[in-house]
Amino acid sequence: MFVWLMFFLLKPRQDGNFQKMVVAADRSIRLAAVPSGPRLLAYLRDHRAQGRQVIALEQTSSSTVLKAGITLPKRFVLLLGGEQEGLPAWLLQSGLVDQCIELPLQGKTGSLNVHVAAAMLMWHYRLQH
C-alpha cells in the first residue's frame, strides 16, 4: 500500500471541493497532508527509514514515463504538487525523492489535473499489486 501525500492542501478531508471529487474514495487509502518545509522533510525521512520509496508525480528532465513494463514499488509515498505550480524544485532536489514519474501525454496537452494524474498512477499501481 502506498501513502498519497498532498502537501499543498493542509486539511484535504475537510475541504468541500476535495470531498466532491473523491466521493469517499479517500477512506480506502492512507492520506496525509503535511505542511511544506521542515515537517515535510522529516515526514519523508521517516517513511524512507520504514522502507518506503518516495515517488514524485512530476514532469522533470529525468522523469520516468509511466508505461507498460514500469513496475511501481509495493510500498511508497506519492508526492503530488499543486495544480498550477507542481512540486517545488527544492523538494525535488532535496535528495529525498527516489524517483520522478510522469504520465505519457500526446498532442498539445502539457499536463493533466493533479487528481486525474494521481488516479491514473493509482490505477497502474492497482493493476500491479
Q: What is the pLDDT of residues 54-108, one digit of tens each?
A: 999 998 999 999 998 899 999 998 998 877 788 899 999 999 999 999 998 887 7
How sure is the predictor about 1, in pLDDT bands with cuts at 50, 70 and 90?
Answer: very low
Identify the pLDDT of residue 109: 72
Q: Which pLDDT does position 10 carry in this prediction?
A: 46
Q: What CATH architecture applies to the domain 3-128?
A: 3-Layer(aba) Sandwich (3.40)
pLDDT recorded at residue 55: 95
Statement: residue 110 has pLDDT above 50: yes
Question: Which residues are CB-contacts of 32 (< 8 A; sequence separation ≥ 6)?
Answer: 3, 4, 5, 6, 43
